[in-house]
Every structure is written in structure tokens, then in C-alpha cells.
Amino acid sequence: MSETIIQKLKLTTNNNEFYVKRDDLLPFCFGGNKARIAKTFLEDFKKKRSDVMIGYGNIRSNLSRAISCMCSAYNIPCIIISPDDNTLCNKSSNMDIVSLTNTKIVKCDKSNVKETVKKILVQIESNGKKPYYIYGNELGVGNETVPIDAYFTVYNEIIDQSQRMSCDFDYIFCACGTGMTLSGLVCGKLVSLHEKKPNIVGISIARKSENEIPKILNMTSAFLNERGIAFNNCSIGESFVFTDEYLCGAYGTYDDDIVRTIREEITVDGIPLDTTYSGKAFNGMKKYIIDNKIKNKKILFVHTGGTPLFFDYLHNNCQSDVIYECNQHEKILHFLLDVDSLLPTPLSTRVNISTYTKKILSNGTALVIQDNGKIVSAVMFYDNNHVEDRAYITLIATLQSYEGRGYGSLLLNKACEIAKSNGMYSIELETENSNIHAIKFYQKNGFKIKKIDKKTHMEKGLR
């Protein structure tokens, strides 16, 4: 793909110079790293003389958009296996773009991915066609190194550009979800003959370090071994940093700091960021630089796109149905005061609401859904009990005029997802014995009655 520009920013945190590699401007279907990665899958697809492209991922994702459009452009039959996911909004620009193509969407439960992939592979083969599943076989094994080549090449592109600019970068930052982009940059760095090699930092937007780092090491090692280049995991591990300190709970969750960063960048430098990938990573980069006292350096942020998610942010900023982590005391306090009288046992009869709010912000998590900047539904929970690995939901409530929209289920599912990603094995709550409606609601969302005394105690396993 064509070389993308490197743009200098007005940002000067800690007297550093900031630059952005604008891969969001790649000239294919709104660009982004997934446009490059989709091209590497396409090249491998052709090399293996396959007939049908099969992808896996939410149809709202950048990869689903890029693969669908790439296949449409080359008249290749395409199937996207998409897990049912009630924790994210039901509409997105990426989804609309996918719907314009002839891509076939196959829905499946997250617990049934292997069986679904196997079934589709067998069906295609029985029709005399050769399927190409982007992750290899039904177990997701076999294609790990293919997408890494995209940003292996980009690393060399960055070095060439830096030499032409007379600007040797000290740091390269990027968003890290599946690890494809970060692994490619790391491989590029390890084999580069350039004398000065920048520090590479991956900002997690989806996974915890203990889950992601081994995958990056394995992908990087496999890619280099295929090319006859030997590096042990220790050497590879020393060539990059991966941090989950700025994950903001889980994939797709964001907070007020991320929103402020997005607004600043579009109004100051004219660069669109999004709440899921680039905005979360850019905000994480700024915090990492402050936390690690990085000063007087040249810093490059690889903008991995894609633009459709920025417009989702603009649309959703004035709409409800979007979940994010709120850390504003006044907003939460006002919501709790609004719903206090709606609760079976008013919160104000049990605790000081202002003190409760401070405790949640200090030790817990407040996930909210807003409408025009006002919180209309929220769940408050703690997931820091690493002795028993048990999370606890202390409150879930929705304003009366917003009931019946499914917000409670959305918030519960997202709370469970975050608690699981933080190592919790179960999540608990309690409700009044007489509140049959609430008990049935929790049971519908996977909770089971653990015991009944003065309250009904309920629990949901997360493993």
C-alpha cells in the first residue's frame, strides 16, 4: 500500500515533540491498519488459490469492514462469522459499510465459534470450493504470521521517512488489540539495520498483559522463525513494552478523559480519533509519558484508524445506548439522587450518597449510559477482590422514562465482561426477597440464586 504521511502535532506534553503516522488516510475504504492487514490476507488468499474468504469478528469492527470491502473490490465471496454481542450499540458506520457489500454474515454464540467455523469450512469444501479462514483452522491456528507482515513493512517505511525528515524517533506508540500491528513493528525493529532503534510501546485497548504478551511473543517468534531469523523470547520481550494500565476496564469501554482527548485532537490538529481504538490509545500514550516522566523526546503515534468509528463517536455523543466508564463525581451524584426514590430500598436510607459516590470512584467502577450528557442508566460494582476473585454489584438503576430499552442488560453484560477481564471468577449481587421482577431479570441475565436470608443473594460464574 502507499506510504502515509507523518504529521507533526501541536501537543507538547513534558516538552516532547509529537508526530502521527496517518494510516487512517490510507486510500482504501477509510484506511486504518486493518486495510493493510486485509491486503496481506488477500495476498495469502491468492497465493493459496482459495475461493471463499472467511473472517471472524464483530460486524461493527474495522477488520470486518476492511475484509468485506477488499473482497467486494476483487469479486471474492466473503463470509464474516460474527459473535452475538449485546454489550455494544446495535448500529455503527462499519456495519452499514459491510451491509453495502455482498458479504454473508453468520451469527454465532461466543461459546460456539469453533463449531461454527468448522461447519462453514466443511460446507464450502463439500461444494468443491477451497475456503480461506483468516485465522487458519477452526481452532484459530495456522495463519498467525500472515498479518504481521503488514506492519513489519511499515516499520521500515517509518525509518525511511524519519531519515528524510532528519527526525529519529525515540518512541513509537500504537493501539494494541489482537497484537498484529504491534508484533509487526517489533519484528521490523528486531531485524532493522538502522543504528538508532526507537522504544516501541503498545497501549492495550482490549486485553490484560498476562493474556496478550505471550501471544505477541509467540506471533513475533513464529514470524521471525519463518524467515530463518532466531530470537529467543527474552530478547523479543526486551524490544517492546505492552501496558494495560490505560485499558479503562475492557474493550469498547471509555471514560471522560478519552472523550476530552478526542475533542482536543479534532479541534487542535484536525485529527479524528475514536473511543475504541485510536482515541483510547492516544489518551493512554499521553498518560504513559507523564507517568514515566518521558521528557524532551521525539514521539510517533501510529494512527491505526478507522474514520467510521469517529463518526460513530460524533453520533453517539448526542445519543444514548453507548456504555462508558464515568469518573465525574457530580454527574454520578446527580444520577443517584434522581433514582434514589425509585429503588426498592432508597440508597439514602443506607449510606451517605456523596460518600458512596466517592467510594465508587476510588475503589469501584461506574458504567453509565447517557442521553445528551445526562446519565440515564448505570451499574456500580467492585472488582478488586483478588483474594476471593469475586466481583460485587452494589447498584443498578435506570431512570423511569428510559426503562424498557434493555439498558440494564447491556450494563450487566459489560460489568461481567470487565470483571472477567480483571481476573474475577464470579460476580455477585443481592436484592429484596419480595422483588420478584428483579430476581427474574437477573436470572434472565445468567445469575443464579446462591442463598436466601434477609436478602436474595445471586451469583454469576465468569469462567
For 47-90, the pLDDT digits (tens) are: 999 999 999 998 889 999 999 999 999 999 999 999 865 444 45
Q: Residue 387 above 80 pLDDT?
A: yes
Give the domain CATH number at 350.
3.40.630.30
Q: Is the domain of 338 the same as that of 450?
A: yes
Is residue 278 classed exposed, middle or buried when 0-12, 13-18 and 19+ CB atoms within 10 A define those classes? buried
Asked if residue 426 is part of any domain, the answer here is yes
Weakest-pLDDT range from 21-30, 93-102, 250-259, 331-340: 250-259
Asked if residue 3 is part of any domain, the answer here is no
pLDDT of residue 412: 93
Asked if residue 138 is part of any domain, the answer here is no
pLDDT of residue 321: 54
pLDDT digits (tens, 9 = 90+) for 125-144: 999 999 999 999 999 999 99
- Spatial neighbors of 204 by CB under 8 A, at least 6 apart, are 176, 177, 212, 242, 243, 244, 246, 247, 284
Please give the residue range of the domain that contains residue 399: 319-461
The tally of domains found in the chain comes to: 3
Q: Is the domain of 106 the same as that of 152?
A: no
Q: What is the mean pLDDT of residues 29-41?
A: 97
pLDDT of residue 84: 66
Q: What is the mean pLDDT of residues 291-319?
A: 89
Distance of CA 391 to the CA centre of its chain: 22
Q: What is the mean pLDDT of residues 368-384?
A: 91
Domain end among 268, 295, 314: 314
Q: Cα dist. 253→248, 259, 264, 422 in Å?
A: 6, 11, 19, 14
Q: Is the domain of 388 the same as that of 254?
A: no
Q: Is the domain of 170 the same as that of 49?
A: no
Cβ 95 vs Cβ 174: under 8 Å: no
What does the chain come to in residues? 463
Q: Is the domain of 227 the same as that of 325?
A: no
Cβ 360 vs Cβ 401: under 8 Å: no
Q: Is the domain of 308 the same as that of 207?
A: yes
Cβ 411 vs Cβ 367: under 8 Å: yes
Q: Residue 319 above 80 pLDDT?
A: no
Number of H helices, E strands in the chain: 15, 17
Q: Is the domain of 272 the same as that of 303?
A: yes
- Spatial neighbors of 179 by CB under 8 A, at least 6 apart, are 202, 212, 215, 216, 219
Q: Is the domain of 289 the same as that of 363?
A: no
Asked if residue 250 is part of any domain, the answer here is yes
Cβ 373 vs Cβ 367: under 8 Å: no
Q: Is the domain of 67 the same as that of 184?
A: no
Domain end among 314, 344, 374: 314
Asked if residue 142 is part of any domain, the answer here is no
Tell me phi and psi for residue 19, to 5 degrees. Answer: -135, 155
In sequence order, the β-bridge partners of residue 21 are 6, 302
Q: What distance in Å separates the CA atoms of residue 32 and residue 13, rounded to the nearest whole number?
A: 26
Asked if residue 230 is part of any domain, the answer here is yes
Q: Is the domain of 236 the same as that of 266?
A: yes
The alpha carbon dihedral of 258, 259, 260, 264 has a sign of: positive
Q: What is the mean pLDDT of residues 398-408?
A: 86
Q: What distance in Å separates the CA atoms of residue 321 and residue 338, rounded to the nearest whole number?
A: 19
Give the domain CATH number at 87.
3.40.50.1100
Q: Is the domain of 172 the same as that of 240?
A: yes
Query: Grid coordinates in use for 340?
Result: 434514589
Asked if residue 140 is part of any domain, the answer here is no
Cβ 313 vs Cβ 33: under 8 Å: no
Read off the amino acid at residue 375.
I
Q: Is the domain of 157 the same as that of 17?
A: yes
pLDDT digits (tens, 9 = 90+) for 340-359: 998 988 999 999 999 999 99
Asked if residue 424 is part of any domain, the answer here is yes
Tell me the angle at which helices 33-47 and 62-73 cross, rounded to the nearest 10 degrees: 50
Weakest-pLDDT range from 83-97, 263-277, 420-434: 83-97
Peptide bond into 279 cis (omega under 30): no
pLDDT of residue 313: 82
Domain end among 80, 99, 133: 133
